[in-house]
Amino acid sequence: MNRIINQRFLPDGSGRVCIHLFAHSADGSATTPAGVNGFKFEGARGYIACNPTQSKVTPLVRGNEHLLCTWSDDARAVSCPKCQETAEFKGQMEQLNSLVGSEAAAFAA
């Protein structure tokens, strides 16, 4: 049986994958997959920043079609334009920029 992978791309025609921001939150609607990678780890609780009620972040399988939800909890990897407009994304980028700025200032001193 052939599998169909359904991956969303950015609407700008660039061919880049749409990567959402996964915001960690104990009250989040979704849990990332648990797994074993040398040690057992639990899934993380949180939500997709542009769609906080979305309950699944793992591929949704319908017959032979796999609908992918690509995400990262690192704002620097996020390409989704809707996620980039959220307070979660902007707050994380401000924190990252302040860290980079303080490191750059320390290096220049």
Q: Does 19 bind Zn ion (CB under 5 A)?
A: no
| Whether the Cβ atoms of residue 87 and residue 60 lie closer than 8 Å to each other | no
Q: Which residues of 11-23 are buried (b: 16+ CB within 10 A; e: fewer)?
A: eeeeeeebbbbbb
The smaller minimum CB distance to Zn ion, of residues 23 and 80, is found at: 80
Residues sharing a CB contact under 8 Å with residue 49, sequence separation 6 or more, in sequence order? 20, 21, 22, 23, 82, 83, 86, 88, 89
Number of Cβ within 10 Å of residue 1's Cβ equals 4
The smaller minimum CB distance to Zn ion, of residues 10 and 44, is found at: 10
The smaller minimum CB distance to Zn ion, of residues 45 and 82, is found at: 82
The residue within the footprint of Zn ion, chosen from 50, 57, 69, 75 (CB under 5 A), is: 50
The smaller minimum CB distance to Zn ion, of residues 31 and 70, is found at: 70
Which residues, 79 to 98, sit near Zn ion by CB under 5 A? 80, 82-83
Positions touching Zn ion (CB under 5 A) are 20, 50, 80, 82-83
